[in-house]
Structures are given as structure tokens and as C-alpha cells.
């Protein structure tokens, strides 16, 4: 199948055919007039050297002239034509690219030639001479030195172009149609892999939501519960009269233990921030003490101000993280515990890191459970390192001051926003 020709190639071929027709009808090179106006039944004559010059197509006066020229061209003997005198027009190698997803519509060579000829020259009844296809045998006239062209009327070319354009338009419509997507059924292996992937994605989303809840939402909920419990303690202290103080003003008052899961004090640590405070409850159970009530007192330990070891525990991360900054404590930092009876001020001394089963740190004399001791000690315990429970971070402090409830608050917390928010209302 021939490749489609460009407009320039078609014009060059038509001009070559017209030049051959004029040379054949004019006879020898010197015979006949050379004027620009053609005579009746003849086309303008041109020399073989200017076959490529633009020329207007010859007009036929009689309808049978094209048939006569066709028969004369077929009756000529076939002679080899020299390469120097024969024009060579090579069709460009071009491939048509499809656009869209519809079926391909590729018109034939004859339809393309007719449509393009009709677009190049208006349909005015003229005859357009086209060279024979590349696969047809070459015919030449003796002495003319040019290829004879076949006449094709412009009207027939326009009709062929219209038919081609109609079929092309239908193809464009079909191209614009949406084709339904056909899905290939999944096999057992692909189906299993796909199901496993969806399960992994779902598990990942659930894990992300759990982390957000654990690290963010639990802090918000625990802080809210801590505020509510602190307000309840302040209200109870305002309604209940203070306990009778001991005869020695330097001896701190020691209250009786309260029921488990019940709050009895508020702890302030200026090192953790001016707005830091946490409620102190009885017991060290996760629910509800450590997860919602702040820090908890070990039931076997001493009460605030009592001789022995006042030991408390708290989370280092999540659930309000009350002891998140326990590693920031420095020797000399004060820890104040407020109860209904007064303020107990402990001063930080040192710390150590132990294993979870080292319970001797809760003894009256830490790490020496056989001794009763005579000091008033406070012990803070939290998990270590962060986000792990492999070890325990233990901070030790000693009672250095006690202030009754009727007196002013210790200077370490008197001007803090935490005490003004909750403790100053008592």
C-alpha cells in the first residue's frame, strides 16, 4: 500500500504530468507557438528543463479530449527513459498516528488523493492530471522525455474526498465514545495478596489512631480529671475545720491515711514549671489513680510529714505525665505537698536508677529495709527510660519545712500561677 503524499508532492507530480501532456500534444520542441495562450484542444508547451515551473492546467473544449489522450497514452510503445530526463519524486515516509481509543479508519490511496486534490483546487470543471501509482508500469512517449499523466476530473476527486470525510467523521464520533472497562478476574494468589495488603493498611491506620489516643488524648483527659479533683479537695478543706496542731510547732502534723482511690493532697514542683500541680491520691493502681488522678501514694509508705519514707508513683509519659521531668530535678529543688493540715516542703537530694523489682527503695531507710530510721523522707518513682518500663527512676527528698494551714504558703510556691489557681483558694 502506497504511503500518503504531501500537498507539495502532489503539486509537483501534477505539474510534471501537465508538462508531459503539453510536450506530447505540441510535437517537437521547435514546432508550434510558444505564447502563453493555449490553442483550441492544446495545452501550453514547456521545455523539459522547466517542467517543475508552475503552470495552469489546460482547459478542454470537448468532453472526449481526455479519452483521446488516455487512448493515445496507452498505445505508445514502452521505451526505457533515461535517468537524467525522468523526474523523480519520492514520497515522504510518514506514519499516521491514531488519536483516541476508537477503531482506526485509514482511507485508501485513491480516496486520499481525491480529497486532497479537491481541497487544493476548487471544483470548477477543470481536469487535473495525476501520475499513475508507483506500482503501475511506466509509459513514455518517444522523444517526449516525460511521463504521461492520467486525467482525473476535479468533480470526482471532490466526491471521493467527501466520502472519505464522511467516514472519518463517523470514526471521530466512535472515538469519543466511552468504552466500558473490562476488569480481569483476580486469581487466588492475587486475591490473597490484595486481601493481605488491605488488612495491613487497616492495621496501620488503627495503630496510628491508637498512638494519637495514647500520647495526646490521654494527656488531655487526665489533666481535666486532675483539675476537677483539685477543685473538690479545695472545697472539702474549706468546709472542714483544720485538725488540732501538736504542742511542738516544729513537729509537723501527720494525718491518718484515707481510703484507697481517694485524693488527699496537692503536689507543687516549681522546677517543672510555675503552672505545675498534681493531685495526690491513695493507692498506686492504674485505674483510677495513676491514669486519672495524678500521682499515688504507696499504701505501705508513710504519710506526709511522718517519720519514714513518703513514697509516691506516677507516669512519666501519657495520662498527664505528672513525672515527665523527674530527671530535671537538681539538688536543692523544693517539692511542696499541700493537705488540709498545712504545707510540707521537701528538698531534693539525689536520685538513682534501679530495676522494677527493687522494692527496698520504698523502705523507711531506702535500700536498707532492716532499719527504721528517724528522717522524714519523700521518694518519687517513675518508669525509665521514656516510653519503656525496663527500669525505675527514683528521686529522694528530705522534709525541711512545715507550715500550718492557717499560715502563709511557702515562698517557693506563693507567687506561682499554680498555687493561685487552686491552692490559694483554701
The pLDDT of 228-257, averaged and rounded, is: 82
pTM (2 d.p.)? 0.56
Based on the fold, state whether residues 168 and 235 are members of the same structural domain: no
Based on the fold, state whether residues 124 and 226 are members of the same structural domain: no
CA quadruple 98, 104, 110, 113: dihedral, nearest 10: -30
Q: Which of 176-185, 195-204, 247-256, 285-294 has the lowest mean pLDDT?
A: 176-185
Residue 297 belongs to a domain:
yes
Based on the fold, state whether residues 139 and 7 are members of the same structural domain: yes
Based on the fold, state whether residues 167 and 229 are members of the same structural domain: no
Report CA-CA distances (Å) from 394 to 324, 329, 344, 356, 384.
Answer: 13, 11, 20, 11, 9
Based on the fold, state whether residues 345 and 266 are members of the same structural domain: yes
> Which pairing describes strands 295-297 and 127-130: parallel, antiparallel, or unpaired?
unpaired
pLDDT by residue (tens digit) across 15-68?
Answer: 999 999 988 887 644 444 444 444 444 444 444 444 444 444 444 444 455 555
Based on the fold, state whether residues 13 and 151 are members of the same structural domain: yes
Identify the pLDDT of residue 121. 43
Based on the fold, state whether residues 237 and 156 are members of the same structural domain: no
Number of domains in the chain: 2
Residue 100 belongs to a domain:
no
Q: How many CA atoms lie within 13 A of 160 on its CB side?
A: 18
Which three cell numbers mark 178?
466511552
State the residue range of the domain holding 393.
Answer: 222-425
pLDDT at 155 over 70: no
Based on the fold, state whether residues 398 and 264 are members of the same structural domain: yes
CATH number at 323 reads 2.40.260.10
Identify the pLDDT of residue 280. 97
Residue 402 belongs to a domain:
yes
Amino acid at each position: 500500500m502506497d504511503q500518503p503524499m504531501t500537498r507539495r508532492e502532489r503539486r509537483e507530480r501534477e505539474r510534471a504530468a501537465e508538462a508531459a501532456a503539453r510536450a506530447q500534444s505540441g510535437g517537437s520542441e521547435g514546432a508550434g507557438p510558444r505564447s502563453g495562450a493555449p490553442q483550441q484542444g492544446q495545452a501550453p508547451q514547456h521545455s523539459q528543463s522547466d517542467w517543475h515551473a508552475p503552470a495552469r492546467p489546460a482547459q478542454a473544449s470537448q468532453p472526449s479530449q481526455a479519452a483521446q489522450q488516455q487512448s493515445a497514452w496507452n498505445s505508445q510503445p514502452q521505451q526505457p527513459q533515461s535517468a537524467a530526463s525522468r523526474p523523480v519524486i519520492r514520497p515522504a515516509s510518514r506514519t499516521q498516528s491514531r488519536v483516541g481509543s476508537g477503531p482506526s479508519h485509514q482511507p485508501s490511496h485513491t480516496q486520499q488523493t481525491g480529497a486532497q486534490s479537491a481541497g487544493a483546487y476548487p471544483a470548477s470543471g477543470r481536469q487535473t492530471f495525476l501520475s499513475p501509482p508507483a506500482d503501475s508500469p511506466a509509459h513514455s512517449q518517444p522523444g517526449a522525455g516525460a511521463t504521461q499523466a492520467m486525467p482525473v476530473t476535479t468533480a470526482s476527486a471532490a466526491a471521493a474526498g467527501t466520502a472519505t470525510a464522511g467516514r472519518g467523521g463517523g470514526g471521530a464520533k466512535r472515538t469519543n465514545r466511552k468504552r466500558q472497562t473490562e476488569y480481569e478476574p483476580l486469581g487466588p494468589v492475587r486475591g490473597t495478596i490484595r486481601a493481605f495488603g488491605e488488612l495491613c493498611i487497616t492495621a496501620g491506620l488503627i495503630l496510628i489512631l491508637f498512638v494519637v489516643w495514647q500520647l495526646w488524648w490521654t494527656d488531655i483527659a487526665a489533666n481535666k480529671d486532675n483539675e476537677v479533683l483539685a477543685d473538690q479537695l479545695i472545697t472539702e478543706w474549706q468546709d472542714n475545720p483544720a485538725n488540732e496542731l501538736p504542742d511542738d510547732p516544729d513537729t509537723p502534723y501527720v494525718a491518718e491515711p484515707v481510703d484507697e482511690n481517694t485524693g488527699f493532697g496537692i503536689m507543687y514542683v516549681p522546677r517543672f514549671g510555675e503552672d505545675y500541680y498534681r493531685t495526690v491520691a491513695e493507692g498506686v493502681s492504674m485505674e483510677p489513680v495513676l491514669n486519672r488522678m495524678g500521682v499515688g501514694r504507696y499504701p505501705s509508705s508513710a504519710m506526709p510529714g511522718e517519720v519514714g519514707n513518703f513514697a509516691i508513683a506516677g507516669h512519666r509519659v501519657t495520662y498527664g505525665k505528672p513525672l515527665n521531668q523527674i530527671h530535671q530535678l537538681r539538688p536543692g529543688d523544693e517539692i511542696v505537698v499541700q493537705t488540709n493540715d498545712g504545707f510540707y516542703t521537701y528538698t531534693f537530694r539525689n536520685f538513682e536508677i534501679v530495676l522494677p523489682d527493687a522494692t527496698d527503695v520504698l523502705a523507711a531507710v531506702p535500700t536498707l529495709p532492716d532499719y527504721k530510721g528517724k528522717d522524714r523522707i519523700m521518694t518519687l518513682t517513675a518508669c525509665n527510660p521514656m516510653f519503656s518500663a525496663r527500669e525505675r527512676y527514683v528521686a529522694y527528698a528530705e522534709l525541711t519545712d512545715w507550715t500550718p494551714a492557717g499560715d502563709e504558703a511557702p515562698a517557693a510556691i506563693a507567687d506561682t500561677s499554680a498555687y493561685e489557681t487552686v491552692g490559694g483558694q483554701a
